Chains A and B, each alone.
Chain A
């Protein structure tokens, strides 16, 4: 037996799903090697037999048969062979002339089918969502955007642990400098291992770690992904991640969905206005409560001031403690409802939201008005698009609350200024986060 085969056997000796089968093709003994967990063995053998029978019928030579089976490259090293077996390929070794073929066998069905999106709701738009398989995802994009300008570059990153990453862009609309920059980063960091998006963003693309807003706008929807391609953005697919990473992420992604455009224009504008208002309300409302209750009550109308004072009568803590206390409870509720199975999620929401809130009011821990503010804020928070953006928004409201508790209404202004300044400072390879995707400059690119 060949040395190479011996080596492979040693390498896979600790793996029980490794198989090594003896067979013969056209009278020549062969050894089939692969992983049972990735290759469906019985159909694989059936298909090999079909090939074999056809080869006997047409009287072709062994070399020609090798070509039918797959690529027969003598120059491939041991490491590549090892990698391709891990990748689910079948390794066929011909003992007679010490040659081998790497074949694409029938894989085990390890991917789920294309389903409706889970984390994003689509209103009147395409319902299919990305899956874990990178080829399927690229295929979905190709289906959505049938154009000869679409370009797909696939890279395998990592030596110890390989990960496929695909870069998709629309030639002629995307900023070629930006794409070259990403390609350069991929080439530079080819050997680094990526386990998650944090690492991907930091190690591979070199984005800063301590950024509140992700440089990628994540979407599950091929329609949105295709739309961003048309807008000149770049899509990144990471294998086993059912998401398209739209980069550079931009502020307006949080307010504009492509499927909005399936509505008449006034309705679309209304929807987008609502989202912007939701974001503003999330940032301002809690701060406004604190500012008006404890720092600047003169801003209120007297009737309002009296009724607020009445709801707060007997509440022991200052407004800032009160609001932070309730926000912590809300954050816990939200986090718990993510963690819990779908079946008991609603129960927790009810217990947390209604019963706890009502009880807190009755126990005179917090004021009635605060519960209203809290509910409004939590609802408004979810109007913007994308879980990550909404999370960033959820966190930034605390800045406003804290500043409002110190400087009142002025503090809200300061907080907003701080947030605007922060967003304004964000760039991805020189493309500003708050910029508008500008159609005019897109036409000039590429």
Chain B
């Protein structure tokens, strides 16, 4: 009997402690939180301007609210927005961070570090660059994307509107590139769309958190397939035909001879023919395809070498060949000297449902 009493008292104490110290009164229900999906950030005259795109739910559907504030830090600006709203702003569901081009060119290092540090912004958030002022862009967003809350995000979502020629870079990848000696990233550049939702202009080459150059969507496709992102289902246009890349695989060998890095890369692309113009043979398509891919790739490599930004991550293949003290200067001393033997082999896996005449 006494034992039972002791146990009952013990349980009561445990429950009481859990209830009193749990801190559960700070929990806010989901309908009292504002869940911004897109955050725009720009920097002018040492002040951040933050724009939040918040889907507001009502019984009728979703409305978009665009709220702007300026602040010394991004957090201050977000807090100011939160102050002025009836529900609290919760960045947990932030999906896309849109950075104004000017700010990206100045360098994103601080912001990316603080996004990584903050507990509520997920490191998986996609980073994109906006090639116009944020105000007109978000005005356009409000005007054209109102019925659904997540349209802009869907453009980047792999199982929704993402295309293989779009680069897809998360905050953690940018953060990694800032601190890595041998790898840089490409960030998609977008603009309010004339036809369609948004215009995709290509990707920005980000070196140590700063935008240094830009590559075209076609080059981005190659960049994606080089980095192992599925390039499947992509249509590659040529003079005579367009083909769909079914799968691509890559083999590489690297060596260092007297301080000069040599890299041999062979990419095998398996394609399917989608459309042809005039009379073509599979041989001519193969040749054409190899030529085009070769040209694009060398163009991208040249850009990467002149800008000393290793978006292809070529330095990764030399990490075990260069001492760490030297790896620090990979971008400046080795990358420009890199000799690359690049080969593309294309295989037409099928001609579609009809034979190639």
A interface, CB within 8 angstroms of B: 210, 292-295, 297-298, 302-303, 305-310, 312-315, 318-319, 403, 405-408
Contact = CB atoms under 8 A, between A and B. Distances in A.
A36 to B, nearest CB: 46
A309 B35 contact: yes
Listed from nearest, the 6 A-B pairs whose CB atoms lie closest are A298-B92, A310-B57, A406-B22, A312-B31, A406-B24, A297-B30
Contact of A310 (B19, B22, B59): B59
Chain B interface bracket (under 10, 10 to 19, 20 to 34, 35 or more)? 20 to 34
B3 to A, nearest CB: 10
Given A310-B58, A310-B62, A405 B35 contact: no
Interface in B24-51: 24, 27-31, 33, 35, 37
Contacts of A297: 30, 33, 35, 90, 92-93
B37 to A, nearest CB: 6
A312 B35 CA distance: 14
B92 A210 contact: no
A98 to B, nearest CB: 52
B149 A294 contact: no
Given A297-B92, A309-B30, A406-B22, A302 B150 contact: yes
Contact of A298 (B29, B55, B62, B93): B93
22 contacts: A293-B29, A294-B29, A294-B30, A295-B24, A297-B33, A297-B92, A302-B37, A302-B153, A305-B30, A306-B62, A306-B149, A309-B33, A309-B57, A310-B57, A310-B58, A310-B62, A312-B31, A313-B59, A318-B27, A405-B27, A406-B22, A407-B22
Interface of B: 4, 18-19, 22-24, 27-31, 33, 35, 37, 55, 57-59, 61-62, 90, 92-93, 95, 120, 122, 149-150, 153
Give the residue among B61, B95, B149 with the most A Cβ atoms within 10 A.
Answer: B149
Given A294-B28, A310-B57, A310-B61, 19 more contacts: A292-B30, A294-B29, A295-B27, A297-B33, A297-B35, A298-B92, A302-B95, A305-B30, A305-B35, A307-B57, A309-B57, A312-B30, A313-B31, A313-B57, A313-B59, A314-B59, A406-B23, A406-B24, A407-B22
Nearest to A403: B18
A408 B30 CA distance: 13
A292 B18 CA distance: 20
A104 to B, nearest CB: 45
Given A298-B93, A302-B149, A405-B24, A318 B29 contact: yes
Contacts of B122: 298
Nearest to B18: A406
Give the residue among A210, A309, A312, A318 with the most B Cβ atoms within 10 A.
Answer: A309
A400 to B, nearest CB: 13
Contacts of A403: 18
A403 B15 CA distance: 10
Give the residue among A310, A405, A407 with the most B Cβ atoms within 10 A.
Answer: A310
A295 B24 CA distance: 8
A313 B31 CA distance: 6
A290 to B, nearest CB: 9
A211 to B, nearest CB: 12
Give the residue among B24, B37, B61, B122 with the most A Cβ atoms within 10 A.
Answer: B24
A294 B90 CA distance: 12
Nearest to B29: A294
Contacts of B31: 309, 312-315
Give the residue among A303, A306, A403 with the most B Cβ atoms within 10 A.
Answer: A306
Give the residue among A292, A293, A297, A308 with the most B Cβ atoms within 10 A.
Answer: A297
B58 A302 contact: no
B61 to A, nearest CB: 8
A306 B35 contact: yes
Nearest to B4: A210
A71 B21 CA distance: 73
